[in-house]
Chains A and B, each alone.
Chain A
Amino acid sequence: MDRGAEITVPQSVATARKHKIRQSISAWTFLIPALMFFVCYQVYPIFRIVWISFTDFEFLSTEPANWIGFGNYIEAYNDPLMWKSMGRAALFTVMFLPGTIIFPLILAILVDRVRHPLLATLYRLILLIPALIPSTLVFVLWKWMYNYQIGPINYMLVEVFNIFTFYNAPQWLGGTNLTLPSIAIMEIWWGLGYHAIFFLAGLASIPREMLEAARLDGANEWHVFWHITLPRLAPIMMILVVLRFGTSMAVIDEYLIFGGFNRGAPTYTWTVYMYDQAFNIGLWRQGFAAAVGMIGAAVMVFFVAGLVYIFRPRG
């Protein structure tokens, strides 16, 4: 009996092992395409950039790149322009991030209260219109809106309401202190409907009975919002905050279009600085630009970790 048991146990272990290996092989077979895409499209470029950041690689130079260790990082760390431009990006993020969460949230709560099915659909469609406009068109539109001389905003302020004159009207874009808030307003408008749809999806998942029960128990609308709606929207809020933190810190298209390469402009952020070094100045110091990019990425990862912690699920 004992011998038989000794023989049977290894056999079943072997069979289980074979089964496990077979399962692993089939799982890996299905994973290979995605894995290859991930490695080639994401992992390799990141490692390549990390490697470049440790070299003196210059794109226009015909000389081979040399390994210089942390030379680029030390230079970037000691470069006042690097930190000034990082501060500008952070300033923009501070202006942009609250607005891109609070306004869509309010809008979503209002739209969620519309009970007429046709109107509710219509409002949702209208909300999505800005998100469907191509970025270039949005920039052209707002550049015209903000134009000092012929833009409709200044036209209203100067010609209609006579608050300003031709000589002292606000200079919204192009390097003034109003530039970053102006771009933030544009970005908030652009993402308003898109972000509101996120919140609407979250609101739809809150059981109506729960809200009605709270009201029956005497909770007013503020209590309902604060104690039921907001906590249940927290996961969506976290996703939006993390995503939008990343995009707002790393904005570049808008800055290049609205501010160019003027280093004195508020739009000359670390991303523009990186681009300037990599594709515009001298022999295009892409090794140094890569180091700037890696430092920027590290700073962003640090803050994203903090945001994830703040918005972590509680209770």
Chain B
Amino acid sequence: MVERNEIELKLQEANRRQLLQGKIDRREFISRSMVTGLGLAGVGVATKYGVGPAYAAEGRPLTPTFYDWIEGLHPGIPGVNERFPGINYQIAPVQGFGIERFVAESKKSDSTWDVYVGQTPFVEMTSLIEADVIEPWDNYIPADVIDDIIPSIREECSVNGKLYNWPFLLDVVGMGWHSGVTNKAGLVDAAPATWDEFLDGANTIKESGAAPFGATFDAHGWRSVAPLAHSGSSDVYTPEGLFDFTSDAAVEALVLMKKIMQTSNPDILLSGASDGGVNGTPDEVAFSTQRVGYYVKYFNAPLRMAQYWDDPKQLHMGPLPKVSGGEGSTVFWTTGCALFKHGQNKEKAAEYIQSLTYDRQIWKDSIAGTETAHVGQLPPYSSIYKEWGESKPDWMLPFVGLVRGQLDRAKSIDNHLFGLSQFQIGQPFWEAFLKGEESDPRVAMQNVTDAVRAEMNRG
């Protein structure tokens, strides 16, 4: 009798698993339960192990939610949605990376959505893991897709060997320049190889009057201090994953920022116009209005800003200059997809994200541009670059090879609960040096470290 029960349980468990995976429907599940002689016992087993979500999955369509800028910049997304009839496509309530709704729902073991597209690992992934909101993709993502993710990106998206962020859009920090301005200043139409060359060029632009400003950058730490430090050395993280502001490379980066500022738009340190001051920054205004020659930011920024120029073809892009004798690295990050622990349709979500992230139309639009946007964000998969290498599409642009090449030199910002906020907490302290209120960059950076530590030690 005991043996028979075990067999029945195994059969029922197999049925239940198939039901959860969507291989059989409820009717088939009940029929099999009856055939295997389980009857009501089968229903009992199903209840015990929780068929509830599977029922709900049948009742609710696949429900992804996107950060709104992604939809705005990638008009090909609706095309992917058409391949998933009945999909309940939504825009996420996450203005300024606000994840409170996700967390609040998770506390009630619930989620309105199955997957969130808009997660940047160093920004909010650790918070979502800590709050038990998301789960790894490993049980749902096909093995060949995992293998296809470029290793450095896979590392960025993983915690303890588990993939918590299915990468979608790749951004790498580099530089762009306005050849109309640089030519007018008499500069060679090529990317400066070192920061010394960069500074010479920026000074020449300003002094020649080719443009009011020589160079500009985005003053947010993860877009300036971190990549400039990486150009000297990417070994600027503590063992626990915090940015080491007192490292030589970070201090040199700060000094470099101050030198660049002498040629830049004076409002460079002011906050931006949207997303809590994070976006719509003064550097974007300067570059889009053709008032500056050199520009340091993730590559999609100069591409987007050049759309407003008289002749967008005057945009050229190159790698981030190196510190003389330095490593010549830079910073990259991906914006990807998080799988809600209490979401439903997880297999379907994986299928959808695979379809989304491999969609060739999205990548064509991103690289070649559309009437509405020219984003320049790139895919995270080796196979797509290989495919383009073997058979170059006629719409392919040179910057793709450049960015892909830069990725091999780049390093992501380490994942940490304070991954983003360490730069927000530290900003006033390093700005004290940039504004001349503190003369010693090391003291400024020590103050940053102390402030971050003090905040971490609270509570």
Question: B286 interface residue, CB < 8 Å from A?
Answer: yes
Within 262-302 of A, Cβ neighbours of B (below 8 Å) are at: 262-265, 279-283, 285, 288
A229 within 8 A of B: no
A176 at the binding interface (Cβ < 8 Å): yes
The answer to whether B285 touches A147, judged by C-beta atoms less than 8 angstroms apart, is: yes
C-alpha gap A176/B96 in the complex (Å):
22
Interface extent on A, as a size class? 35 or more
> Known: A176-B270, A265-B271, A282-B455. Is A148-B428 also a contact (CB below 8 A)?
no
Beyond A148-B265, A149-B265, A262-B271, whether A58 also contacts B459 by CB under 8 A is yes
A261 to B96, CA, bound (A): 11
Contacts of B265 in A (CB 8 A): 148-149
Q: Could you list 18 A-B pairs, sorted by A, with CB under 8 Å?
A: A59-B103, A61-B130, A166-B291, A171-B267, A171-B270, A174-B267, A175-B270, A256-B276, A260-B272, A260-B277, A261-B276, A261-B424, A262-B277, A264-B428, A280-B421, A281-B418, A282-B459, A283-B130
Task: Write out the residue numbers on chain A whose beta carbons fall within 8 Å of the beta carbon of B285.
Answer: 147-150
Interface assignment of B273: CB less than 8 Å from any CB of chain A: yes
Partner of B425, one of A56, A263, A285: A263
Q: Is B103 a contact partner of A282 (Cβ separation < 8 A)?
A: no
Q: Tell me the complex Cα distance, A174–B271, Å.
A: 5
Instruction: Tell me how far the C-beta of B129 lies from the nearest C-beta in chain A, rounded to whole angstroms.
Output: 10
Inter-subunit contact A143/B273 (CB<8 Å): yes
Asked if A201 lies at the interface with its beta carbon under 8 angstroms from chain B, I say no
Is there a chain A Cβ closer than 8 Å to B355's Cβ? no
The CA of A264 and the CA of B421, in the complex, are separated in Å by 14
B103 touches A56 (CB 8 A): no
Q: Which residue of A lies closest to B281 (CB)?
A: A174
CB nearest neighbor in A for B212:
A166
Q: A42 in the interface, Cβ–Cβ < 8 Å?
A: no
Q: How far is the CA of A280 from the CA of B421 in the complex (A)?
A: 7
Q: State A247–B87 Cα separation when bound (angstroms).
A: 43
A12 CB to nearest B CB, Å: 58
B269 at the interface (CB under 8 A from A): yes
Q: With contacts A60-B103, A60-B127, A260-B278 known, is A149 near B417, CB below 8 A?
A: no
Distance in angstroms between the alpha carbons of A257 and B455 in the assembled complex: 23
Whether the Cβ atoms of B267 and A263 lie closer than 8 Å is no
A57 shortest CB reach to chain B, Å? 10
Contact at B132–A62, with CB atoms within 8 Å?
yes
Which of chain A's residues has its CB closest to B422's CB?
A: A281
Q: Any chain A CB within 8 A of the CB of B44? A: no
B424 & A148 in contact (Cβ 8 Å cutoff): no
- Counting CB contacts under 8 A, is A159 at the interface? no
What is the interface size of chain B, counting residues whose CB is below 8 A from a CB of the partner?
41
Closest to B292 in A: A149
Q: Which residue of A lies closest to B128 (CB)?
A: A60
Cα A285 to Cα B266 with chains together (Å): 36
B456 contacts the other chain (CB 8 A)? yes
Q: Is the C-beta of B131 less than 8 angstroms from some C-beta in chain A?
A: yes
**Contact status A75-B270, CB under 8 Å:** no
Which residues of A have CB within 8 Å of B425? 263, 281
Cross-chain contact B458 with A148 (CB below 8 angstroms): no
Contact B421 A281 (CB under 8 A): yes
Q: Which residues from B are CB-within-8-Å of A190? A: none
**How many angstroms from the CA of A12 to the CA of B285 in the assembled complex?**
84
B275's nearest neighbour on chain A, judged by CB, is A260
Interface pair A279/B130, CB less than 8 Å apart: no
Chain B hits for A258, CB < 8 A: 271, 277
Cβ-defined contact, A59 with B266, below 8 A: no
Does B98 interact with chain A (Cβ within 8 Å)? yes
List which B171-227 residues lie within 8 A (CB) of chain A: 212-213
Complex: A149 Cα to B281 Cα, angstroms = 11
Interface membership of A173, Cβ < 8 A: yes
Q: Could you tell me the distance between the alpha carbons of A279 and B458 in the complex, rounded to whole angstroms? A: 15
Rounded to whole Å, the gap between the CB of A292 and the closest CB of chain B is 12
- A149-B265, A167-B212 known; 14 new pairs, CB 8 Å cut-off, are A59-B100, A59-B103, A143-B273, A150-B285, A168-B266, A174-B282, A259-B277, A260-B271, A262-B424, A262-B428, A264-B427, A264-B428, A264-B429, A279-B98
A264 contacts across to B, CB distance below 8 A: 427-429, 431-432
**Contact, CB under 8 Å: A259 / B130:** no
Measured between beta carbons, the chain A residues less than 8 angstroms from B278 are 260
